Amino acid sequence: MTTRVPRLVLLISGRGSNMEAFIRAIEGGTLQATIGAVISNEPDAAGLEIAEQAGIQTRVVPHREYGNREVFDAALATEVLAHDPDLVILAGFMRILTPVFVDRFAGKLLNIHPSLLPKYPGLHTHQRAIDAGDSEAGATVHYVTSELDGGPPVMQVRLTIRPEDSAESLAARLLPLEHQLYPAAAALHLSGRLHLSNGLLELDGEPLPATGIDWRP
């Protein structure tokens, strides 16, 4: 009897640098999974060609062709389900998803956000951290819920903010760490050690801290 290799579906809107990180992690053997499909809401997303070159199926569900978010999300969910995923990865997917989609994939939908959540949900996270005088910035992989950037954190990586840092330099230094963090969090989910129930996240039966695991590269 063959063991099923866990299957991922990745959602992108642009080049998909996090998508490439997953491809590398799988090829390098640090993530035991396969990518069933890469799906974009943008027909000209550069990441589609990158995925095709890696031999991965691609699909487009163009959001502009749907009357509202809920109708688009229903169509997107149907396409994702066609690829039978164990885990859905938001890899630079630039759409706010409604409960029509989120509830369908509750507990197996991950996102990465460039801040130490619960600090700075939303946009301009690095500039907000600098303006607040924070000593650290970072990124958080979290389960997606209907609350924007509000789902339970799985893992965080931290980075010291230097006096000379700008939002751009901070983002550039953090990005390689994000590319390691995200596949590591996905691997932990696929191991079956995480359990999400009623918004509470447990690892091996023990509650995780509110900010998730403090991950070190």
Which residues are part of the catalytic machinery? 113
Burial grade of 217 (CB within 10 A; 0-12, 13-18, 19 or more)? exposed
Residues in CB range of 186: below 8 A, 6 or more apart: 8, 22, 31, 33, 87, 89, 110, 141
Strands (DSSP E) found in 31-181: 34-40, 58-60, 87-90, 109-113, 136-143, 153-160
CA torsion, points 191, 103, 117, 14, in degrees to nearest 10? Answer: 90
What is the DSSP pairing of strand 109-113 with strand 206-207?
A: unpaired
